Structure 1
Amino acid sequence: MADQIAKDAHLAATVLKTLSNDSRTVALKIMHDALRDSKDKVIEANKLDLKEAQTAGLSQSLIKRLDLASGDKYDSMLQGILDVATLDDPVGKITLATKLDEGLELYRVTCPVGTLLVIFEARPEVIANISALAIKSGNAAILKGGKESIHSFKAMADAVTGALSKSEVPKNAIQLVATRDEVGELLKQDKFIDLVIPRGSNALVKNIKDNTKIPVMGHADGICSIYVDIDADAEMAARIVVDAKTNYPAGCNAVETLLVNSSIATTKFIKVTQALLDANVKIRATADLIAALESANVAPHDNITLATEADFETEFLEFTIAVKSVPDVAGAIYHVNTHGSKHTDCIVTENADTAQKFLRGIDAAGVYWNASTRFADGFRYGFGTEVGVSTNKIHARGPVGLEGLVGYQYILKGNGHIVSDYAGAGGKKPFLHEPIQF
């Protein structure tokens, strides 16, 4: 069964990539309308998932990710489809053109990756996000949702598959798999599946990486850090840290570690701490910082406890933050590169030289200066939406939009040319290797 799903997706991908941008865009608009018209049905199904998740005692962070009705999440999901639809076609772009000889021209052209396998927990909006990005970029996609979102998954799957059947997109270009048993077999289909994108817990991502030969694009942890420098504006630092921690603590781009220059432990750090406490954030601080807070009469406090080493490698996903002092920016860089997850890290400072040292020194997909880590998102970057955040160092990094779902191929156009005529293969003709303007 799994091999047939993968083969069908592969064959659909070979057709999908030949469709015009207009055809792919029309398909997205049909999908948007179907999900818009099915909103009430999907939300009712989502309520069943939420009820079962609460009964099962699942974590609050997972329940928040599962909830489609909170805030404007559903409408943002719909808008994301339209945003993707209006983006430039990522397929067929020439990125290099070289004249090898008269009548012999080489082009490097963007093309779809092929077939994507996307495995996710909670976050049922992933169905719309991935489907939109996959279709726009000419890729087929197999989507497998978690059991905690099964009702939402089925309702959205009905809307998506029904919509695409009214378009030129091949029927197997987007396949939605509900059973868990097929995942293991799908991970073996390296002949037909080109890229696996996991979205979920650390355990999920690590398990997938350990059980497939297919390239995996994703991240296992979102341990984001903010360093408050000696030259930071205290009020700015407080606003940024509180936003990064409390805006959506269940997000992988929420800050988990706060690093503070030791010289401001009894001054600017106090203001940042008070802002966190006012926002009901639990602070796990090192002994020296607790002593500084006690001297300022901020501690003892019920929400201030002694940090452990493990806290600085923990993705809390809740109103908890680990706090540590460092002597300078070099100390901050060392800590982040030692304990971070290469997701997104930030420095708050008014010193441009110090900021540049941090920006250059941090090994992460995103490095910010005076801005909340919560900006690490495909929608906020203008990608329409994202398939996830990659901490990989090859192909795509950070929030992955359309550009992360295309590779490239070399197209050579000749007129009866043969390599035997050229130097290095028995002939005498030299190559011109002249750039072609495009």
Structure 2
Amino acid sequence: MSDLYERHRAVIPDWVALYYQQPIEITHGEGRHVWDADGNRYLDFFGGILTTMTAHALPEVTKAVSEQAGRIIHSSTLYLNRPMVELAERVAALSGIPDARVFFTTSGTEANDTALLLSTAYRRSGTILAMRNSYHGRSFSAVSITGNRAWSPTGLSPLQTLYVHGGVRGRGPYADLSDARFIEACVADLEDLLGQTRDVAALIAEPIQGVGGFTSPPDGLYAAFREVLDRHGILWISDEVQTGWGRTGDNFWGWQAHGRNGPPDLLTFAKGIGNGMSIGGVVARAEVMNCIDANSISTFGGSPITMAAGLANLSYLLEHDLQGNARRVGGMLLERLRAIGAAVPEVREVRGRGLMAGVELVKPGTDQAHPEAAAAVLETARENGLLIGKGGAHNTSVLRIAPPLTLTVAEAEEGAAILERALRSL
């Protein structure tokens, strides 16, 4: 393994991070488990950053990929593509957006980049509203609307970005308010901000901030924002790269927790739909999607092999009610984690929804982030057979837990027990 690590360091950029003091090579997986090159078996509670949505080596997906690969792997969007049309039809219907059009990309970054292109072209404005503590991808435009300094390597930007309060409930100037007053204060902040600018194209927001540490506002905040946005003609982009496809349990899309005024104007997705295959995309109503008046294609977006995987994965998810499983098993896991956290001084908060849980760590007796503790828990959990992630605005001091949606009650308890030992070892 050390030989592969040295080879990695010799050819891969320094800014491509690796987990663990002794990085591991994952060689294969099955269900909710993966194995490394040394034969160690791990319960996977991170799914390749929320991407292995159903299960590792899901037979229905591997069969669909194999059969499609035996026919044709690639053709581009210059030709009719049956799997792409079929998946687009299903995603459009599920999105809730009327007269929807779907454009497929290869990643969530590219999906958000496309949504920014569409909204700025439609509104003829280069001004974007984004949430503080947000993350939307790695491209130049996506980095320029990222409200999390740890993930924004440049101050240069092709857009004018204005940041809005509300993505983080438990920190900041409004943290001590009730939910209703919190929403009122954030809406007032938005109104004040719009009173000092003009011709804003869109607000882009994650219903639950992923890289930001699984933080979220009270239900209804974005519905209240929507009333303000509609008065100004501003579009709403819901970034569902991490929250889509039923992961939150209560809803199929994260926006539905804020949906009293209907669906967003644009919805972006990626990660879980491909179960590891590179699929992203944008859904928008026709007048927005069709506003581009220049030539455009996608070489790899919507490739037959990834679309076959997406169709099989989506069918499995719906037929086996994995949203319901996320609600049931995720609810149990969250309660277990909250009970554990109550007995560990370093745990400031356990938050989340469905199979999307964050455990924020601080220095005991303070509100100061504790990235060293998060790193130590990550290491100890791995040593005991559990893979988790980390994130958060405050120096990656939040443990991120997001297993495949087929997680069983027994596996949830097993993972919680390992995490409890790791937290108590602090």
TM-score range, shorter chain: under 0.3
Q: When the two structures are superposed, what TM-score results if normalisation uses the length of structure 2?
A: 0.26
**Rg larger for:** 1
